[in-house]
Amino acid sequence: MADLPLDGLLVLDMAQFLSGPAAALRLGDLGARVIKVERPEGGDICRSLYLTDTDIGGDSTLFHAINRNKESVALDYRQEADRALLFRMAARADVVIQNFRPGVADRLGVGPTVLRAHNPQLIVGSISGYGEDGPWAGWPGQDLLAQALSGAMWLNGSADDGPVPFGLSIADMLAGHVLTEGILAGLVRRGIKGVGAHVETSLLEAMIDFQFEVLTTHLNDGGRPPQRAKTCNAHAYLASPYGVYRTADGWLALAMTPLAKLETLLGVPLAGDGFRDRDRLRAIIADSIAQQATAAWLTLLRAQDVWCAEILDWPCLLASEAFHRLDLLQTIPSRGKSVVTTRAPLRIDGHRSHCAGAAPTVNQQGSAIREEFS
């Protein structure tokens, strides 16, 4: 870890659930020391947020994935002694990450202004659900709700499906990435000008930014709403043949390809406009592609430089040579078991960082941290 770019920096992760801890995880993957500040009773609520019935040492796999390689200290912000310890930690920290509801951190006496008063060079990163004020500010900042409010659900699925949510906590993950970008920018400015920063984003802002490409089209296209194709839809704004098609034994993703070229390869008539006749053309393409196996289509289409790919499930992805060559998995000993999880999705000077430790138990390093910052 000593060769990573953030080696020597201290991050206090005061956040819960996914978005804030995910940002802290990224900073840890880049070499920072991350101390997770948790509630004495139960710690981060994510410890008991189960995706399946799998349990590792009393905590969910979700918690283990997002909080690997962190230390834990339990603090009760209502107690003066614990707040004083937090302030001493903040005075020596480089970054603090929070994702309280708007106003809560200030009411507890641990908000960004108070923390930065103890360390003017501190970078405080805050994530809310929908911004710090306004009519939605007090609503629960939860991933599915942010997806619903952002308009993104209306881009997925085909025309008759209704709104289709992503099968991932995409608002949380994106907000974590956006906050990480802002924190790194704050650290760069601190290195140049010697000043700290308060970096803010929200689940809603991250979801809106995620749609900037198509939203810009909508804003400059007379306000016309996107129209999803009736079948095989993969992008509400792209013409045929762009879409997802069932083959005789699986599924095929077909990207931008001239219709005339595809007409020759499929042996079917595809005359028409890719936008205006999108549904009719996709139905013809779908009928043709359904007649042969995926491997046969890949052989035929790739030989003619048609952009296409088999749609893989996780077992097929994990078994592929391409996945193994990326070396994206790591096994971490944890509480008498082993946790298999992902590694950092980037390489620095040709190397991908390894995790040095598992996710902590509540207050696992509490005694040592209290002594260190006494």
Tell me the pLDDT tens digit for each residue of 266-283.
999 999 999 999 999 999
CB atoms within 10 A of CB 357: 14
Q: Are strands 251-254 and 308-310 parallel, antiparallel or unpaired?
A: antiparallel
Of the pLDDT bands very low, low, confident and very high (cuts 50, 70, 90), residue 130 is very high
Closest by CA position to 265, among listed 288, 295, 294: 288
Give the highest mean pLDDT range of 40-44, 153-157, 309-313. 309-313
pLDDT grade, residue 2 (50/70/90)?
low
**Regarding beta strands 10-13 and 33-38, do their DSSP bridges make them parallel or antiparallel, or are they unpaired?**
parallel
Is the model's pLDDT at 1 over the cut of 60? no
For 196-220, what is the mean pLDDT? 97
Q: Which amino acid is present at 69?
A: N
Distance (Å, rounded) from C-alpha 83 to C-alpha 75? 8
- Nearest by Cα to 305 from 244, 257, 268: 257
What is the mean predicted confidence (pLDDT) over 156-164? Answer: 92
Domain boundaries, the chain: 10-210+327-372, 243-318
pLDDT of residue 290: 98
% the chain with pLDDT above 90: 88
Residues carrying an active site annotation: 172
Q: Which of 7, 124, 117, 24 is CA-nearest to residue 71?
A: 24
Can you identify the CATH homologous superfamily of domain 10-210+327-372? Crotonobetainyl-coa:carnitine coa-transferase; domain 1 (3.40.50.10540)
Judge if 10-210+327-372 and 243-318 fold alike in CATH terms: no
* CATH architecture for the domain at 243-318: 2-Layer Sandwich (3.30)
